[in-house]
């Protein structure tokens, strides 16, 4: 390990150039190479790194906000979007330098129906309550083909159903969802990667089989997605 003696001026010292010159001489006279023993954990500062040496500025394709969307969330991850997907990309990954994606998604949501979320108490069945599942998916295209769910991104939401004194059950559901994940897909350095928002109602088939008129509509609003690439 090479060593450098850094001499600093302290409050109350006479103003001289002696200590700075001695420090410069120590740098110039160093023998050998620096090793990890020369640096404390987290001892490197911003000034030690070249611009874009950790992450590049995001191009416009890597960050998007989406207009509000209303529809029916079926039992598939992309059915709600009806071919017009919430997707960001393309982005490529440098496998040789072990680049990693940091993906962030946030959105607000609410479900409602023509009865303002109320149904006769006879329909107050747990298997009919909305069970929303948000997640992120990825593919090599923006067309919804071959999209795979990213492990660890599923977020579940269920309604708090209760009955009123008039014998009606409430099934409304509303909230917000945030997903942040580090993702390193095994792809070639030239392969484009697209990231999708996904959402489904896991009880959709139950409602259709029971009474399709009781399906609730889903509105997704204030949604935003972006990807950063971090170099390792």
pLDDT in tens, 189-216: 778 999 999 999 999 999 899 888 888 8
CB count within 10 Å of CB 4 equals 13
Residue 207 structure tokens: 């409602």
DSSP state of 55: B
- For residues 174 and 120, which has the higher predicted lDDT (pLDDT)? 174
Domain total of the chain: 2
Task: Classify residue 165: in a domain, yes or no.
Answer: yes
How many residues does the structure list for the chain?
Answer: 232
Which whole number is the average pLDDT over 74-82? 97
One domain, residues 83 and 188: yes
The reply to whether 67 and 40 lie within a common domain is no
| Pair (78, 43) in one structural domain | no
Q: Are residues 76 and 35 in the same domain?
A: no
**pLDDT classification of 43: cutoffs 50, 70, 90:** low
Domain that holds residue 18: 1-48
> Quick one: pLDDT at residue 131?
92
40 falls within a domain: yes
pLDDT of residue 130: 87
Instruction: Tell whether 24 and 138 lie within a shared domain.
Output: no
Q: What is the pLDDT of residue 204?
A: 95
- Are 182 and 100 contained in the same domain? yes
User: 199 in helix, strand or coil?
Assistant: strand
Asked if residue 114 and residue 155 are part of one domain, the reply reads: yes
> pLDDT tier at 154 (50, 70, 90 boundaries)?
very high
Can you tell me the distance from the alpha carbon of 157 to that of 172, in angstroms, rounded to the nearest whole number?
11
pLDDT at 54 exceeding the cut of 70:
no
Q: Answer whether residue 53 is part of any domain.
A: no
Q: Dump strand ranges (E) for 50-86.
A: 63-66, 69-71
55 lies in some domain: no
Residue 54: inside a domain: no
Residues forming beta bridges with residue 193, ordered by sequence position: 91
Domain annotation covers residue 136? yes
Average pLDDT over residues 83-95: 91
Return all residues near 30 (Cβ < 8 A) that are at least 6 apart: 2, 3, 4
204 and 172 together in one domain: yes
Is 140 part of a structural domain of the chain?
A: yes
């Amino acid at each position: 390990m090479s060593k450098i003696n850094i001499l600093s001026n302290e409050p109350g010292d006479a103003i001289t150039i002696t200590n700075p010159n001695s420090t410069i001489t120590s740098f110039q006279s160093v023998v050998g190479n620096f090793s990890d023993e020369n640096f404390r954990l987290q001892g490197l500062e911003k000034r030690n790194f070249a611009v874009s040496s950790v992450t590049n500025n995001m191009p416009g394709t890597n960050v998007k906000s989406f207009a509000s969307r209303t529809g029916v969330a079926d039992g598939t991850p992309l059915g709600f979007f009806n071919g017009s997907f919430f997707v960001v990309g393309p982005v490529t990954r440098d496998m040789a330098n072990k680049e990693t994606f940091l993906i962030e998604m946030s959105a607000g949501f609410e479900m409602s129906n023509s009865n303002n979320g109320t149904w006769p108490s006879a329909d107050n069945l747990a298997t009919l309550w909305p069970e929303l599942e948000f997640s992120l998916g990825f593919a090599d295209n923006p067309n919804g083909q071959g999209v795979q769910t990213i492990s660890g991104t599923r977020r579940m939401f269920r309604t708090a159903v209760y009955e009123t004194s008039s014998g009606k059950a409430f099934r409304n559901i509303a909230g917000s969802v945030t997903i942040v994940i580090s993702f390193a897909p095994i792809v070639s350095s030239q392969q484009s990667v697209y990231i999708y928002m996904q959402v489904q109602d896991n009880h959709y088939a139950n409602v259709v089989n029971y009474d399709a008129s009781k399906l609730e509509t889903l509105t997704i609003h204030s949604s935003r997605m972006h990807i950063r690439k971090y170099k390792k």
